[in-house]
Amino acid sequence: MKHLFVVGLGPGDTAYLTPQVRSALERSQVLCGYGPYLDLIRGEFPEKEYLSTPMTQELARCRLALESADAGKTTSMVCSGDPGVYGMAGPVLQMAEEFPEVEVQVLPGVTAALSGAALLGAPLTHDFAVISLSDLLTSWEVIEKRLEMAALGDFSLCLYNPASRRRRENLRRACQVLLRHKGPETVCGWVRNAGRAGERCGIMTLDALKDFQADMFTTIFVGSSATRVVGGRMVTPRGYGVKKCGS
Amino acid sequence: MKHLFVVGLGPGDTAYLTPQVRSALERSQVLCGYGPYLDLIRGEFPEKEYLSTPMTQELARCRLALESADAGKTTSMVCSGDPGVYGMAGPVLQMAEEFPEVEVQVLPGVTAALSGAALLGAPLTHDFAVISLSDLLTSWEVIEKRLEMAALGDFSLCLYNPASRRRRENLRRACQVLLRHKGPETVCGWVRNAGRAGERCGIMTLDALKDFQADMFTTIFVGSSATRVVGGRMVTPRGYGVKKCGS
């Protein structure tokens, strides 16, 4: 059997790398991925063969990985975070139909919603929605509709890809959509470089968030109506607090 | 400084335990948690002091952990999955205000949305919402509103706590809400005991899901309108597929 693992490194630091993923990387002859993600593990696995393609060349990268596995080399497609959250699990499985001899196995990792939430406190402890603000592969109309429905459902939100060099205004536009249905004092948080060198985070209101300068290494958290700042942390209660107050 | 770690084990098997969490468990004198979660790690850490409370005694468990840390014993509050997703991170941080000398640190883990998704394929590769169907701490009206908004926003969905011994009908009721806005052929999946002994999963339509017998170890996935079965896996494309078809 020919093997392709699609693995999630977590946020970057090997402290978050699960033993399952480490074992898949060790078993692999070839590690394929976006260059900056491969750089996170190159030091740990110097003897591997490395394959990569530039940003926006995701499909070519999937093909490289599948061809490598199909050639008989056990291969890992390396993603940051979790491969199933805006990662390569989807496109690899779609393309894998062309490579019937390759068995694809997806191995999860700690995605930025979880690593970022842990730094801020517990913003996602109740129901939540995850939305990417990147309009490269999704129309802004779809993004806006989802922001609106998530606001009406009073979900806590985790926003991926709030900005890039080309899309500076998407976070502001998203906040404007949310402000139609959520109070300006809604508790929000930002995390930059979660679980990597240069890790930082902060808490602010939704009103202030619309002027926040996010970059491509930032993850944004928007509270539900129940989210509070507790001891300097962003916390969305799940109802235990209510019970406690009533007891 | 007095330390309390609130840690996520991931799905259960130590293959998913991050080195960061393992290191916190090693540093801790006391491990506190729900008994069945502690049983997952007791063999690895036999020399620790263990504290637990029964199910529904979550606040008493938080107090035990905080008091243990406050007494000067480095303590870990052990959660399955991720402590910030329906876990103890929220209530611990809320109660921690009573224990100003205790520094609480939340350490993320692989939650069932990620481990379950990886088994099924890539159901969450585009925007998604996570909703618990437990109406112990949340009114059914809130749950139903969120299901409805998530359906209108065409999110992929991950449903936690679809059933318990007392709540057998919640998954059926949830499917009935979703069927108001989503087609009966919508691709859905279930995962039981992800990342643990007895791991199983399957794919079915939303129409069939309403008659599915879930239990408390089951996680449910409901596709967006774009979700497809590809090579036997449940896959939600992110737009790459569209590009490919057009090229």
Place of tokens 């009103």: A207
Q: Are residues A153 and A97 in the same domain?
A: no
Query: What would the pLDDT profile of B116-164 be if each residue is shown by its tens digit?
Result: 999 999 999 999 999 999 998 899 999 999 999 999 999 999 999 998 7
Closest-CA residue of chain B to A116: B108
Tell me what pLDDT residue A56 has. 80
Are A149 and A65 members of one domain?
A: no
**What is the rounded distance in angstroms from the CA atom of residue B47 to the CA atom of residue B142?**
44
Distance, in angstroms, between B213 CA and closest chain A CA?
Answer: 23
pLDDT score recorded for residue A240: 62
The verdict on residue A203 lying in a domain is yes
Looking at the structure, tell me whether residues B116 and B231 fall in a common domain: yes
Query: What pLDDT score was predicted for residue B137?
Result: 87
* pLDDT at position B54: 84
B59–A243 C-beta distance less than 8 A: yes
Both structure tokens of B246: 């057009």
Please answer whether residues B21 and B34 qualify as being in contact, where contact means their C-beta atoms are separated by less than 8 angstroms: no
Contact B127 A123 (CB under 8 A): no
C-beta atoms of B137 and A240 within 8 A: yes
B238 contacts A137? CB cut-off 8 A: yes
Contact A122 B15 (CB under 8 A): no
Of A156, A238, A157, nearest to B94 by C-alpha is: A238
CA angle, residues A22, A124, A77, in degrees to nearest 5: 25
ipTM passes above 0.85:
yes
B6 and B118 both lie in a single domain: no
In terms of DSSP H, where are the helices of chain A? 19-27, 35-39, 58-70, 89-95, 112-120, 140-152, 170-179, 206-209, 240-246
Question: What's the CATH code of the domain at B197?
Answer: 3.30.950.10
Query: Can you give the pLDDT at residue A241?
Result: 53
Note whether A128 contacts B123, CB cutoff 8 Å. Answer: no
More confident residue, B228 or A165: B228
Closest by Cβ to A16, choosing from B20, B59, B85: B20
Q: Which of B107, B136, B169 is the last residue before a domain boundary?
A: B107
Distance from CA of A203 to the nearest CA of B (A): 16
pLDDT band at B238 (very low <50, low <70, confident <90, very high): confident
The torsion angle over the Cα atoms of residues A216, A120, A147 and A160, rounded to 10 degrees, is 20
Q: Which residue of A lies nearest to B131 if distances are taken between CA atoms?
A: A127
Query: What distance in Å separates residue A206's CA from the closest CA in chain B?
Result: 20
Query: In the listed set A61, A90, A107, which residue is the last one of a domain according to the structure?
Result: A107
**Chain B residues lying within 8 Å of A101, measured CB to CB:** none
- Give B237's contacts in chain A (Cβ within 8 Å): 90-91, 94
Q: Which two tokens stand for residue A87?
A: 């990662």
Q: Both B136 and B97 in a single domain?
A: no
**What's this model's pTM, rounded to 2 decimal places?**
0.95
Are B86 and A130 a contacting pair at CB < 8 A?
Answer: no
Q: Is A33 among the domain residues?
A: yes
The answer on A135 and A82 residing in a single domain is no
Give the pLDDT confidence of A103-139 residue by residue, as tens digits. 999 999 999 999 999 999 999 999 999 999 999 889 9
Examine the domain organization and report whether A119 and A68 are in the same domain: no
Q: Which residues of A211-235 are buried (b: 16+ CB within 10 A; e: fewer)?
A: ebebeebbbbbbbbebbeebeebbb
Closest CA relative to residue A122, chosen from B91, B58, B74, B132? B91
Query: Are residues A131 and A88 both part of a single domain?
Result: no
In a domain, A41, yes or no: yes
CB A88 within 8 A of CB A62: yes
Q: Taking CB atoms and an 8 Å cutoff, what residues of chain A touch B10? A: 18
> How many structural domains is chain A composed of?
2
Q: Is B81 among the domain residues? A: yes
Inter-chain CB proximity A18 and B15 less than 8 Å: yes
- B153–A148 C-beta distance less than 8 A: yes
Nearest to B81 by CA among B49, B129, B113: B113
Residues in contact with A78: Cβ distance below 8 Å, sequence separation at least 6, in sequence order: A7, A9, A25, A31, A32, A33, A34, A37, A38, A41
Per-residue pLDDT, averaged over B232-238, amounts to 95
Q: How far is A184 from chain B (nearest CA, A)?
A: 21
Assess whether pLDDT exceeds 90 at residue B167: no
Give domain status of residue A246, yes or no: no
Domain assignment of residue A120, yes or no: yes
Among A83, A95, A125, beta carbon nearest to B84: A125
Domain that holds residue B67: 2-107
Indicate the residue of B10, B122, B127 with minimum beta-carbon distance to A146: B127
Alpha-carbon distance B123 to A116, whole Å?
Answer: 22
Per-residue CA distances from B39 to A241, B60, B195, B231 (Å): 27, 19, 15, 37
Contacts of B84 in chain A (CB under 8 A): 114, 117-118, 122-125
Of B61, B76, B107, which residue is a domain's last? B107
DSSP B81: B
Task: For B40-81, write each residue's pLDDT tens digit.
Answer: 999 999 999 999 998 889 999 999 999 999 999 999 999 999
Q: How far A49 CA lies from chain B's nearest CA (Å)?
A: 25
- B102 and B145: one domain? no
**Which of A85, A99, A154 to mutate to probe the B interface, most B CBs <10 Å?**
A85
Which positions in chain A touch B152 (Cβ < 8 Å)? 149
Average pLDDT estimate for B198-222: 96
The nearest alpha carbon in chain B to A97 belongs to B231
How far away is chain A from the Cα of B90, in angstroms, using its nearest Cα? 5
When CB atoms are compared, the residue of A15, A90, A114 closest to B19 is: A15
Q: Tell me: do A214 and A117 sit in the same domain.
A: yes
Does B207 lie in the same domain as B188? Answer: yes
Q: From the list B90, B97, B115, which residue is nearest A108 (CB)? A: B115
Q: Is residue A156 assigned to a domain? A: yes
- Please check whether residues B135 and B228 belong to one and the same domain: yes
Count of CB pairs separated by less than 8 Å, A with B:
254
**Is B32 contained in some domain?**
yes
Count other Cβ atoms within 10 Å, centred on residue A209.
27
Query: What's the pLDDT at B240?
Result: 63
Cα separation, B149 vs A43, whole angstroms: 46
Render pLDDT for B133-144 as a digit per residue (tens, 0 to 9). 999 889 999 999
Taking 50 as the pLDDT cut, the residues of chain A under it are 242-247
Opening angle at CA A141, ends B127 and A133, nearest 5: 45
Check which CATH number belongs to the domain holding A56 and give it: 3.40.1010.10
Do B237 and A152 lie within an 8 Å CB cutoff? Answer: no
What is the reported pLDDT for B201? 97
End-to-end CA distance of chain A: 59
Total Cβ atoms within 10 A of residue B89: 32
Retrieve residue B64's tokens: 């035990």
pLDDT at B243 over 70: no
Nearest chain A residue to B90 by CA distance is A122
Chain A residues touching B109 at Cβ < 8 A: 110, 114
